[in-house]
Amino acid sequence: MPAIHQYGCSVSLGEEAKTCYGRIAADHYGYDFVQHSDSSASNPWIALHFCETQHQIQTDDVVLFGWSHPNRNSWYNTHTARWEHLNYIQQKKRGSALTHSVVDYVSNQLSAYIEDVHDWYPKSIVENACNLQGLRYMHVHCVPHMIDVLMPDRQKYIADHLHPNDAGHERIFQLIKTQLDAIIHT
């Protein structure tokens, strides 16, 4: 059975919800669902993780890329041998060995230029890889776009920590459904 592979940050992961828009889509189309998202992930990490796992994706599968805010960054922690996605705004991972890296990034590197680069180059990498392999894919601009779309009905669609709740994920699916229909039915 074909699958929907979902990459992204906490929005795509379904943090603060029992489901996520990718699972809703997979259930709707009768596809299997494979979740590759990670909380607080940066766009460069999303692209890297896709490159590391793309061998799992078959040509009849569909890939959803749920892009995060371009000011996020990720660091590889050699002490723990894993990636850490330090969201400097929410301070989710206090005590990390990489806290000073985040302070340096925010103080000395973060700029409009870096945000622009973190917006376009990860998308370019995954588009080129998908096109070369004949994979069907869709970009979903989750942060800040989808959150901004849901915020006017915050009580209905947003959970406590600004992530979509179950109704919010259903709404995201409805917003992407027409474009996803066209991709699924090609």
pLDDT of residue 22: 98
Q: With 90 as the cut, is the pLDDT of residue 49 above it?
A: yes
Mean pLDDT of the chain: 92
Strands (E), 36-186: 62-67, 75-77, 82-84, 136-141
> d(Cα 33, Cα 44) in Å, to the nearest integer?
23
Contacts of residue 2, Cβ cutoff 8 Å, sequence gap at least 6 = 31, 32, 58, 60, 61, 62
> d(Cα 132, Cα 126) in Å, to the nearest integer?
10
Contact predicate 3/29, CB 8 Å = no
Q: With 60 as the cut, is the pLDDT of residue 163 above it?
A: yes
Q: Is the pLDDT higher at 92 or at 135?
A: 135
Partners of 164 in the beta sheet? 158
Q: With 90 as the cut, is the pLDDT of residue 107 above it?
A: no
Per-residue pLDDT band at 89 (split at 50, 70, 90): very low
